[in-house]
Amino acid sequence: MRVLFFSLIAITVISCDGQKRVAQAEYPEFVWDDNGSPVSIENKEESIVEPTARTSQTTNLNQAVDEWIGTPYKWGGTTKSGADCSGFALRIYEDVYNKSLPGRRVEDFLQSVSFVSQTEAQPGDLVFFRMKGRRVDHVGIYLGNNAFAHASTSKGVIINSLSDAYYQKKMFKIGRPN
């Protein structure tokens, strides 16, 4: 009986621990650093790439993104109950910067930006991607330290790194709204 009891406890601990690791791999946890940029809890040594000044707009951007994390993906959506990549970008710009991005589609946003290099990127710049071919079809918002927030079709609103090989391959350009 004692052996059965300890076996059940060991199985429970192992299975719970395994579930925890899966959740961390799918949704990396992060905190905001002293510069107002996201830092992955799992990999802090890679997180500080470039210094960014902490301004009230950067703080507002970080707070706004925090509120959207986990919002499910919904094609054509612009609310916290569901948003696509351009809907998420539109709402962040309205809420944080009191600005309206032109149009509703990624292609519309491309027409109203000045392109900057990745080393010149500042929090709030738009990051454009070619996810499914040659057409620019995805947008995210640069947060600093190579991190960007976007509405992923599979995971909803999340933060990823431009240093990830997948996003390096898919990134088109970074643009600053005019």
Integer Cα distance of 90 and 93 in angstroms: 5
Among candidate residues 138, 156, 161, 167, the one labeled active-site is 138
Question: Under DSSP, is residue 21 helix (H, G, I), strand (E, B) or coil?
Answer: helix
Q: Catalytic: 85? A: yes
Supply the DSSP string of 70-91, one letter for each residue: TPPB-TT-EETTEE-HHHHHHH
Choosing from 149, 150, 157, 158, the catalytic residue is 150
Helix (H, G, I), strand (E, B) or coil at 42: coil
138 catalytically annotated: yes
Catalytic-role residue among 65, 85, 110, 157: 85
C-alpha–C-alpha distance, residues 154 and 132, integer Å: 15
Task: Look up residue 93 and give its amino acid.
Answer: Y
Provide the pairing of β-strand 126-129 with 138-144: antiparallel
Q: Is 150 a catalytic residue?
A: yes
Mapped onto helix, strand or coil, the DSSP state of residue 98 is: coil
Q: Which two tokens stand for residue 143?
A: 């947060």
Write the DSSP assignment of 123-147 as a string of letters: TT-EEEE-SSSSS--EEEEEEETTE
Amino acid at 87: G
Active site residues: 85, 138, 150
